[in-house]
Structure 1
Amino acid sequence: MRGLQSDSNGEMSRMSPATVWKQVTGAGRNVVHRYNRLSVKGKTALVSVSLINVGLLIAVIIITPTRIGNWFNHLAESLRAMGVGGMFICALFVVIASHPPLFGFMGSMTLIGFTYGVWPGFLVASLAALSGAAIAFISVRTFFLGWIRKRSNDKWEAFGHVMRNKGLPLVVMIRYCPLPWAMGNGLFASIESVKLWQYMIANLAILPKLLIPVFIGSRLTSLTHDRPSHDPLQFWLNIGSILLSCSISILTGIWIYRLTLEQMRKLNDGGDEGELAADALERGALLGDYTDDEEAADEPLTLGHSMRPSDSMLRRTSSSSDSR
């Protein structure tokens, strides 16, 4: 564990401003490169999601943000009027959305912030998120582990071995990666070397990250009541705080994700396990590379698709073995 932490600290100290700037300027080329490497299914999924988002944006413009804001205001008032029952309903949304393959976790957390503010909203959201993560972990581990074992491969076994060797620090780092909450619950539950207590400690460690959607929801409440003509400074401060919170969350998640992959690739105690484990995480994450000659990797590994090491991976690992 100390070796992993010291490597992480050393890597962070070597990141000069010039290196950071180079990564920022190359982000656009990296996005284009990743898109070009997507298979037909991957490109279709990406275009479909983009069209859905554009459709939602057009719907918001047609309906007008004011009407949507008024509807959510009425919903929030109804939930608050229910007292503890309203809190339970909001928490239930979070718990249900925590189980893979369901979605809506971040929206449910934002609704809690919109309805109850940062406090007691963050308390309700935290308890619901932790409960949902525990229930999803136990459910997947109890009912789906045998099904997952039948579809495991060398990369997945290497991933589990690295997780077993490095323990809690690596669990926390991967939990900070930009994986959807429900998908992360299924990911860790499918790795037998990850214990429930380790996973719950990792969830406790990322509670500050869960504060962001609650905070954004509380700021959205102010935006639905305030108008730029009433208090321009307050209005634009709310807009700025929302954008800043989103930027911090996204950039931090991507940075930790890339750092985690880099550290995992350095763990070659058992041959090429570090490289295979990093590749397994990359295939299971939304930021993974899916090429045309890896058709089976179009879906995340947590969905049970078979993903044998590709020829490029075998060439890469064999060359690294020869160099050693």
Structure 2
Amino acid sequence: MMPRLDSNTDPFRRPNTNHINSIYKQNLSKFQNFSEELTKRYDELTPTKKILVWILAVFNVIAVVLILIFHSYIIKSLVKLSDKWADLKFGHLLLFTLVFMVGFPPLLGFSPLSLLCGMVYGFPYGWPLLASAMFTGSFASFLVFRYLLHKQAVRLIQANEKFRAFSDILKEDQSLLILILIRLCPLPYSLSNGALAAIPELSAWTYALASLITSPKLLIHVYVGWKLKSLGDETKTFATKVVDFVSILITGAASALTTWLIYSRMQRKLEIYHSSRQQTNGDYDAMIFGNFDDNDLSSNNNVELDSNDFDADNFVIGDEDDDEEEVELDEVRAETDQADVTKSTSPTNSP
């Protein structure tokens, strides 16, 4: 009888729809949880902060509309700016200083400056300047917030839930791989520099090495900036501009997908970490207070405690009735002793 091949090896079999449905349900559940969390945080805001949120949302919508309408003019202006910047005598030093400064929280603008490096110096020639400025700026920010502004660094961690979670992980595991994954996650650049400095278990050299290893990711910023400048070049054909635009979309999508995969892996690591912490806390409580079932507590059965389960440092549980009997016996002995002393000291009567 000929052996039968496993049906799983059939190249023409249909994909597992159950697995696809489970992935879809997981992503839908995450989106719903995220929406509920946003709604909850919005409801907790004061009326003034709610107004500011709406103003910011309207401003973003207006900015997107203006970019869509005047995108050609904006790109041409950026091209002129990059050309003038390249002609500056100290253009390298100025751009290096700006990237260095935005490494300190709460300053913003790292992404636009990264794109500007690509527009001014091209790909990959803008990467050495951007990577060196990022490395020195982030490391200097780490040292300042570690030794001079430690209280502010602690506040940064307490103000962000993700920073608190990553801080808990790094306190348990200070491996270089964990820190590299955190540096690759989509966290605010300057804020993460200051927040990570508040973790005493994280050494400065580990942080510097992780920043150096993750610096090649900046090639994406430089490449996108370089292609943005090529879109504003009037000498190029329409087909070339379409190719450049598609390459920007593909690069951005690949970068977003990679970041999402890393972020999802860190989320799973966070869930495993928190579940292990909860299990450890539960075992600790059971060790101290005993592991009693609800049925034992709700029933009328007496719960017996074995003295061998407790060490010598714990208190001794006694019986109240035994204590009262011992007190009464001590009082009787004291009265008897007092009577004997009185009888022995009193003078004897003559006959």
Partner of 2:9: none
Partner of 1:213: 221
Q: Which runs of 5+ in 2 are unaligned?
A: 1-18, 292-351
Partner of 2:302: none
- 1:36-57 CA deviation, whole Å, 9 max, x = no partner? 2323338666544432222222
**Paired residue for 1:231, among 233, 237, 252?**
237
**Paired residue for 1:118, among 97, 118, 123?**
123
Partner of 1:250: 256
- 1:249-277 CA deviation, whole Å, 9 max, x = no partner? 23322332232132133236984499xxx
1:123-142 aligned within 5 A: 123-142=128-147
**Paired residue for 2:108, among 96, 103, 109?**
103
Q: Distance in 2 between matches of 1:212 and 1:134?
A: 21
Q: Distance in 2 between matches of 1:58 and 1:158?
A: 37
Q: Does residue 1:54 correspond to 2:61, yes or no?
A: yes
Cα gap change, 1:219 to 1:45, in 2 (>3 Å)? farther
* Native 8 Å contact 2:146 2:197 kept in 1: yes
Cα gap change, 1:198 to 1:88, in 2 (>3 Å)? same
TM-score by structure 2 length? 0.63
TM-score by structure 1 length? 0.68
SS of structure 1 residue aligned to 2:232: helix
- 1:257-299 CA deviation, whole Å, 9 max, x = no partner? 232132133236984499xxxxxxxxxxxxxxxxxxxxxxxxx
Q: State percent identity of aligned pairs.
A: 23
Letter in 1 for 2:227: R
1:164-203 aligned within 5 A: 164-167=171-174, 168-203=176-211
Cα gap change, 1:26 to 1:146, in 2 (>3 Å)? closer
* Native 8 Å contact 1:267 1:273 kept in 2: no
Q: Does residue 1:70 correspond to 2:70, yes or no?
A: no
Q: Once the 2 structures are TM-superposed, how far is the Cα of residue 178 of structure 1 from its aligned partner? A: 0.8
How large is the RMSD of aligned CA atoms in angstroms? 3.5
Partner of 2:269: 263
Q: Distance in 2 between matches of 1:269 and 1:159?
A: 15
Letter in 2 for 1:172: I
Q: Once the 2 structures are TM-superposed, how far is the Cα of residue 27 of structure 1 from its aligned partner? A: 6.1
Q: Distance in 1 between matches of 2:68 and 2:240?
A: 23
How many residues align? The count is: 261
Q: Once the 2 structures are TM-superposed, how far is the Cα of residue 148 of structure 1 from its aligned partner? A: 4.7
Q: Distance in 1 between matches of 2:59 and 2:226?
A: 26
Partner of 1:37: 40
Q: Distance in 2 between matches of 1:43 and 1:172?
A: 36
- 1:38-93 CA deviation, whole Å, 9 max, x = no partner? 2333866654443222222233356x23332232222211221125x111111111
* Native 8 Å contact 1:113 1:217 kept in 2: yes
Q: Distance in 1 between matches of 2:35 and 2:23?
A: 19
Q: Once the 2 structures are TM-superposed, how far is the Cα of residue 220 of structure 1 from its aligned partner? A: 0.2
SS of structure 1 residue aligned to 2:250: helix
For the pair shown, the structure with the greater C-alpha radius of gyration is: 2
Residue range with higher mean Cα deviation, 208-217 or 262-271: 262-271
Partner of 2:323: none
Q: Distance in 2 between matches of 1:139 and 1:191?
A: 13
* Native 8 Å contact 1:98 1:185 kept in 2: yes
Q: Distance in 1 between matches of 2:274 and 2:30?
A: 29
Q: Which runs of 5+ in 1 are unaligned?
A: 1-15, 275-316
SS of structure 1 residue aligned to 2:202: coil
Cα gap change, 1:25 to 1:268, in 2 (>3 Å)? closer
Q: Distance in 2 between matches of 1:25 and 1:157?
A: 25
Q: Once the 2 structures are TM-superposed, how far is the Cα of residue 33 of structure 1 from its aligned partner? A: 3.1
Q: Does residue 1:94 correspond to 2:99, yes or no?
A: yes
Cα gap change, 1:265 to 1:21, in 2 (>3 Å)? closer
Cα gap change, 1:150 to 1:221, in 2 (>3 Å)? closer
* Native 8 Å contact 2:124 2:223 kept in 1: no
Q: Distance in 1 between matches of 2:245 and 2:25?
A: 29
- Does 1 or 2 have the higher relative contact order (CA < 8 Å, sep 6+)? 1
Q: Distance in 2 between matches of 1:28 and 1:165?
A: 29
